[in-house]
Structure 1
Amino acid sequence: MTSRREFISGALAMGVTGIPESLGSTLNRNTRQAQVTPVVVSTWDHGLAANQAAWELLNQGGYSLDAVEAGVRVSEADPGVRTVGLGGYPDASGEVTLDACIMNEKMDCGSVAFLQEIKHPISVARAVMERTPHVMLVGQGAQDFALTQGFAKENLLTPQAYKDWQVWRAQGERPKDINIENHDTIGMLALDKDGRLSGACTTSGAAYKLHGRVGDSPIIGAGLYVDGAVGGAVATGMGELMMKTLGCFLVVELMRQGATPMQACKGAVLRIAEKLGDFAAFQVGFVALDCLGESASYCIQPGFSYARHDKQGAILTKSEALLGEAP
């Protein structure tokens, strides 16, 4: 029987991603960009509601940056989405700490990490991008900045999240599951009628993480990356794996070399599997959207889904998985 490592090595050796050597495909995309129509994609099932908010702006001719901010704010404000914003799982000390970043087609970007008591970190990240010379603010500095910009403090630890944290501690601080139960980060990409591509990513991070831990979601290139001439990518899952491989940057670079969104997402997952020996213990999912509006996703473990909304309507797609395909 073929082992998992042999399967991965064989896939890499055979060039399973099918990426050509030249940049001709990317150049061809640029010449066809006028054909695009608005589209928004995002991670997980709750992406459907987030996409609806984004689509309302896109369908009115709005800017993709406004759309992704509005879209992910829906998840940030929903206490039922357990690892984003209000109601997100706390860290090991019982504190809710938030990470987010945002990026437009011109590579303007902003980010916040380890932000507390501010419900909409994505909007603070946009303020960092537009109102400071910096890309990232963290911790108390990020909160201080948010307050100067008119954001208000509020308690983000809901009674249900507090109860779950108490149960986790009483059970001996066991790790949580690897899919949506612990990693339902909202990552979103949108393309507007003018061909402008933007992305956003926001999370409260892994449930019961060490106090002070920051994952991939606020890291440009790891949890989100956008190049307006090529495409964008967002990631969800165990952030450390994306940070070690700059997964979203890799997805976009593979598309720049001519890969389709599916080939690029698969190539990034294969890179993780090739380089990181413990990858099978975790979930990582990528979603990519190119500058023509083609989208795809790929992940390590079965169980990841992504949402898409365009003029044809809304759809939720179950992602193909590396380990689900192994012989």
Structure 2
Amino acid sequence: MKANEEAWKVLSSQGNALDAVEQGVRIIEADASNHTVGIGGLPDRDGHVTLDACIMDQKGNAGSVCFLEHIVHPVSVARKVMEKTPHVILSGSGALQFALEEGFEKTDLLTPESKRAWEKWKKNAEYSPVINIENHDTIGMIALDSAGNLSGACTTSGLAYKMHGRVGDSPILGAGLFVDNEVGAATATGMGEAVLKTCGTFLVVELMRQGRSPEEACKEAVLRIAKKQNYNDFQIGFLAMDKKGNTGAYCIHPGFSYAHQNKEGAELIPAKSYVKE
């Protein structure tokens, strides 16, 4: 809701969707109390906070960073990759080098609270994610501006206590995020490996192209995962918006909601789920 509030400041003043999604997700990246995005994100099993993010505009331009350390706002670095390089993805030390050259400040992302949680985890070194808490709080945002253009952004610190070097779906176009200005946009949250195996958001957008509603498209993407993967211990949620501004979502387990804001106001909307309560 906080992210949407910030994004709406841009949209309500006739700003563009790209600026809106960047400014919106930056709010969560800078919130140290959120342990799945940006500063304060729970580290990998070696104690490193590594961030993934991507951004995509109405023209199909895209930028992404993955396995990035020491930068609070990876989404803004991703935008710089899109606008200032001939590439789509920069990773690891190369992404950090680029960010520093672009004037981003080097910051210790491991907060005392996250460090304590990691040190407690190390005693047993077992990862047992809690569905709807630890493993799905990636923030993905899609927006439609007054000019009728769509853009999207996605940013995360990834799975807590992941293997060092792991990259999830969030910085991968067609997995964590996809935008097609002729049709619509989609973003994903949850167990990134499951989304990567199905090119989830690309699938959602293509289904909308074929005439499915945003919710119907998200549901089909979830069903593709549920059919082939053991979903008992992980959550997946898809969120989509079509060119007319209609929105919809669908998830595997109950408990996933998405924040929606337009000129009528703001609300938190629970998504229908494959597994029923």
Task: With the length of structure 1 as denominator, give the TM-score of the two structures.
Answer: 0.83
Question: What are the equivalent positions in structure 2 for 1:99-110 lying under 5 Å apart?
Answer: 99-110=52-63
Task: Give the structure 1 partner of residue 255 of structure 2.
Answer: 303
Matched, 1:208 2:161: yes
Q: 1:233 aligns with which of 166, 186, 205?
A: 186
Task: Give the structure 2 partner of residue 150 of structure 1.
Answer: 103
Residues 179 and 304, structure 1, Cα contact 8 Å, conserved in 2: yes
Query: For 1:297, what is the secondary structure of its paired residue?
Result: strand
Quote the Cα distance in structure 2 between the aligned partners of 1:245 and 1:191: 26
Question: What are the equivalent positions in structure 2 for 1:51-90 lying under 5 Å apart?
Answer: 51-90=4-43
Task: Give the structure 1 partner of residue 220 of structure 2.
Answer: 267
% identity of equivalent residues = 60
Matched, 1:287 2:261: no
Quote the Cα distance in structure 2 between the aligned partners of 1:182 and 1:280: 13
Query: For 1:173, what is the secondary structure of its paired residue?
Result: coil
Quote the Cα distance in structure 2 between the aligned partners of 1:229 and 1:134: 23
Quote the Cα distance in structure 2 between the aligned partners of 1:310 and 1:165: 39
Q: Deviations over 1:148-205 (max 9, x none)?
A: 1000100000000000001111234232212223320000000000001000000000
**Bigger Cα Rg:** 1
Q: 1:112 aligns with which of 54, 65, 78?
A: 65
Gaps of 5+ in 1: 1-47
Give the C-alpha shift of residue 318 in structure 1. 1.2
Q: 1:254 aligns with which of 204, 207, 213?
A: 207
- Name the Cα RMSD after superposition: 0.9
Task: With the length of structure 2 as denominator, give the TM-score of the two structures.
Answer: 0.98
Residues 36 and 137, structure 2, Cα contact 8 Å, conserved in 1: yes
Gaps of 5+ in 2: none
Quote the Cα distance in structure 2 between the aligned partners of 1:57 and 1:180: 29
Q: Which runs of 4+ in 1 moved over 6 A?
A: none
Task: Give the structure 1 partner of residue 78 of structure 2.
Answer: 125
Which has the larger helix fraction? Answer: 1
Residues 265 and 296, structure 1, Cα contact 8 Å, conserved in 2: yes
Quote the Cα distance in structure 2 between the aligned partners of 1:321 and 1:170: 35
Q: Whose relative contact order is higher, 1 or 2, with alpha carbons under 8 Å and at least 6 apart?
A: 1
Quote the Cα distance in structure 2 between the aligned partners of 1:116 and 1:75: 17
